[in-house]
Copies of this chain bind each other. A is one copy, B any other.
Amino acid sequence: VNRFSLNHATTKYWNQTEAIHACARHDVGIGLWREPVAEAGLAATAKLIRDAGVTVTSLCRGGFLTSGEQAALDDNRRAIDEAAALGAAELVLVCGGIPDGSRDVDGARAAVADALAELAPYAGQCGVRLAVEPLHPMFAADRCVISTLDQALQLAEMFPAEQVGVVVDTYHSWWDPQVYQGIAAAGAAGRIACFQVADWITPLPAGVLTGRGQLGDGCVELRRFRIAVDAAGYTGPIEVEIFNDQLWARPGPDVFAETLQRFAEHVA
């Protein structure tokens, strides 16, 4: 169980300080989000984390790099700084969709590679790895033009392994007939930066963002993923990241306890 990490988005409306203290009590890690960190204050959060002895397994998130705008690069440099300040070794990137009015998916993908070329050396200097997350293809238009683990890996491999890795996420990749080969390849290349788990349930809600399933509620072979990621040589934390309106409506401690139990049943 000590590979468990609570991605704070699973308990989105649970006060971040309380969530950090709960993770400390359970000796598990936490994945933080920039907005609540900013709200609590970056330095204060970093001190709280150090005092609590909790590992920040990732910071979510940078990215949105497809517009080619300087402001996006600047914002990602700030995200790298924040990850470094929090002692988070991995900054998760949601790379961005197709810019408004464009139909150029190849161009958007090329813009991601160009932006990574700008950002990767800086991340490396800061001791932070950029973790490229392939998002489910239903997000390709508006959130992330990187849809498969293979794509993410090809992108990452343009840069040194200590600068750019990939995220394996069961929710985004379970449907992919190539995913287990991709996990093996990413592991062999030392590129698995982050492993996130959530289940897939239907029907999807409008907007499809907040329809992820609690572990065990859906059709994903979560344990098969975990075994594959282990077999690929990954020994790091396993973040549970579930965007779900019903979970968000419940008290954070309840959801945290349930998620720990489901993790033991369905992942560990």
Interface of A toward B, CB cutoff 8 Å: 98, 102-105, 109, 136-138, 140-142, 145, 147-148, 150-151, 174-177, 200-208, 218-221
The interface residues of chain B lying within 8 Å CB-to-CB of A98 are: 219
Sampled A-B contacts (16; CB under 8 Å): A98-B219, A102-B219, A103-B219, A103-B221, A105-B219, A136-B137, A137-B137, A137-B175, A137-B176, A141-B175, A142-B203, A147-B176, A148-B177, A203-B207, A204-B206, A206-B206
Residue contact B200 to A204, C-beta cutoff 8 Å: no
Residue contact B141 to A200, C-beta cutoff 8 Å: yes
Bound form: Cα–Cα A221–B108 in Å: 13
Q: A208-B208, A219-B103, A221-B103 are in contact. Are A138 and B141 (CB under 8 A)?
A: no
Q: Which of A148, A175, A176 has the most chain B CB atoms closer than 10 A to its own CB?
A: A175
Bound form: Cα–Cα A175–B147 in Å: 7
The interface residues of chain B lying within 8 Å CB-to-CB of A177 are: 109, 147-148, 150-151
